Amino acid sequence: MEKHRKAIYPGSFDPITNGHLDVIERSLTIFDEIEVSVIKNPSKKALFSTRERVEMIKSALKNYKGVKVSSFDGLLVEYAKKMGANTIIRGLRAVSDFEYEFQMALMNRRMAPEIKSVYLMPSPEFTFLSSSLIKEVCSLGGNIKDLVPETVEKNLLEKL
């Protein structure tokens, strides 16, 4: 029997964007199961609570098969082990992401060599996209349609 390939896609997701969805879709062509996991206490102050972030992701992914949504705290590699995921997925948009991602990948590898980090590049139309930029543009009245799932747009307009 073929091995079940499970990967974890961790992040702040404050909120999820179409760039994240692009990475999830790409991951699903490689892995059998993806667990999208929201960090409970992101280093930057979050606009949305953990529960709100999880709910928005669940709603955006309601038609996807092979995806689970959760939240975690503590060390990512420990959580990945507990969940039976031997791969961490991260999106890489531009060279500017590289240094931070490289540091994290090597630190995670040092702590848990059996867990691999895999980087996926989103479609070029999303390489400029970030959750922070979405929040800024939306708070200033800019149009974010087609950049985030509908449920996120609705929640942002209510919150901001």
Binding site for ligand PNS (CB under 6 A): 10-12, 39, 42, 75-76, 104, 107-108
Residue 90 annotated among the catalytic residues of the structure: no
Measured CA to CA in angstroms, residue 115 lies from 16, 105, 112, 139 at distances of 24, 10, 6, 38
Which one from 6, 20, 53, 135 is the annotated catalytic residue?
Answer: 20
Residue 93 annotated among the catalytic residues of the structure: yes
Residue 130 annotated among the catalytic residues of the structure: no
Identify which of residues 9 and 31 has a Cβ nearer to ligand PNS in the complex: 9
Q: Name the strand (E) or helix (H) holding 120.
A: strand 116-120
Identify which of residues 63 and 96 has a Cβ nearer to ligand PNS in the complex: 96
CB atoms within 10 A of CB 149: 20
Calpha distance 159→45 (Å, rounded): 15
25 residue type, one letter: E
Residue 59 annotated among the catalytic residues of the structure: no
Token reading at 148:
């985030």
Identify which of residues 2 and 114 has a Cβ nearer to ligand PNS in the complex: 114
Q: Name the closest residue to ligand PNS (Cβ).
A: 11
Residue positions annotated with a catalytic role: 20, 44, 93, 131
